[in-house]
A and B are shown apart, each in its own frame.
Chain A
Amino acid sequence: MKVFDLNTDSVRALNQYLHDSPSGNLSVTNPAGRHCIACGIDDAVEVSIDGHVGYYCAGMNKTAQITIGGNAGPGVAENIMSGSVRIKGNASQSAGASGRGGTLVIEGDASARCGISMKGVDIVVAGSVGHLSAFMAQKGRLVVCGDAGDFLGDSIYEACIYVRGKVGELGADCIEKEMTAAHVHGLEDLLVATGVAANADDFRRYGSARKLYNFDIDHADDY
């Protein structure tokens, strides 16, 4: 296994290696909260980061499997396209922002705006999420095994939110929806695939009321 020690190797050298011709598994040690680690990968490599990372770790990931051993700063796995990113600790704000595919798993809690503008990614948070999570979420699934802060799903489009715990005030145009058998099965598969221990039957589903999809004077208070 190739090892990059960020006490001696630069983030630039690491990313260049990952962009050029990475092969096999790769270990990153001493990340020490540095920013932009392992972003823009376009190969099916496995990257294990031993510690905490700063902003935008695993940004725009394609196909790679990335594991972060500690906590992650803002914008982890932003605009992820495919592959998977797993955070053993907690995530700061805007985790998985605008993600278009793949899977993001946060074993701890996520801060505000988790899944903001998500466009197809599946995000599973074993803990709780902060306010304005899934803001303007367009596609994909946000699964929250703990609680969700205020304004969940504000201005949401076709993304699907599952929450097991308490939910604060819902955002504009976000409503609770029926949890059908198909939704339970789909969620069950996702929980199994991501290795998060939770019973799909315990979750409630939230999505768009679709009242803001077209301008309507009678909904002016929601704009």
Chain B
Amino acid sequence: MFLRLVLRNALRHKLRTALTVLGLVVAILAFGLLATVVDAWYAGAEGASATRLITRNAISLVFPLPTTYREKLRGVDGVTDITTSNWFGGVYITEKNFFPQFAVDGESYFRVYPEFVIRDAEYKSFMRNRKGAIVGRKLADTYGWKVGDVVPLRGTIYAGNWAFEVEAIYDGRDAKTDTSQFFFHWAYLNETVKRQMPRRADTVGVYIVNIADPGRAAELSMGIDEQFRNSLAETLTETEKAFQLGFVSMTEAIVVAIRVVSYLVIFIIMAVMANTMAMSARERLSEYATLKALGFLPRRIGSLVFGESLMIAAIGGSLGVALTFPVAAKFGQAMGSLFPVFNVSPETVLLQAACATTIAVVAAIVPAIKASRVRIAEGLRAVG
């Protein structure tokens, strides 16, 4: 009987309830999407491995490191593997087709990054073709590339027109893996650089150092940097996560703004919901007074209001959460490679549910107290 009363009260003003539910759906959906955008911002850092260190030029990332460092790094106790990576920065047809391109040591790179899953036959084809490229599944889907296609890139850092042949398409080991990257042979890059800009030859952007024990990351980082102190190119070594967070920190103001907006949305719908509940409770004062006269205790009257608020929030919240998945999928597609990983996390769903519950509870507090405290004699007079 209690639940029936709550349900029928919630549906008494169908338009008002429908509009409130719609507002909740939009708010919870917007909150979920914005939280997913923030997650996407941190996806690189979240997907980072604890066993990988990044060694770069201490002055700036734009300055390279000599390839001769590789053997010295290999000699550091605790280092299990090493690979290299160079930011290429090419343009595919127009500037708006942005995606990250790296010249890598194909032999070691995919050993250090086991999360990039490649078919053996395709990997072998890539290794045989000096102009070969490995592209992520999301990137290939975005531009409709398939194995055998030629991808022309206009160099910006490394001038000239470049052409790469797609030899392999990699998939992610899990949902957190970025599959929007483009890899090709560093050796091919170096050959060209040697001819055109000999001074920039035999250098790499960063070293990626695999270590056996993540607990020694700080010690090994200091040890590596110590080794290259007072050299021509001093190094700065940090964990992959710290390296990725360094990029995020450059845009932290945007992340903060997104977070503020997402909570503002929740605050606004909370005010709307509180108004709805207050209106409903005010209209029903005589009914609450009647229930009290019949012997219902104040807490039971209050729980009627809370129940109604929770029911509306549950409907709106559930719809909002359910819609977040397809909308986020579309949004992620529309964003292309801007957000390589754009997945709604379980934490986001939990946050959405927590927000919907908080909205329901906060919105109902004052109306519930008023309803439970209604003086019977006065409340009954509210009729007619």
A and B associate: no
What is the interface of chain B, defined by CB distance below 8 A to chain A?
A: none
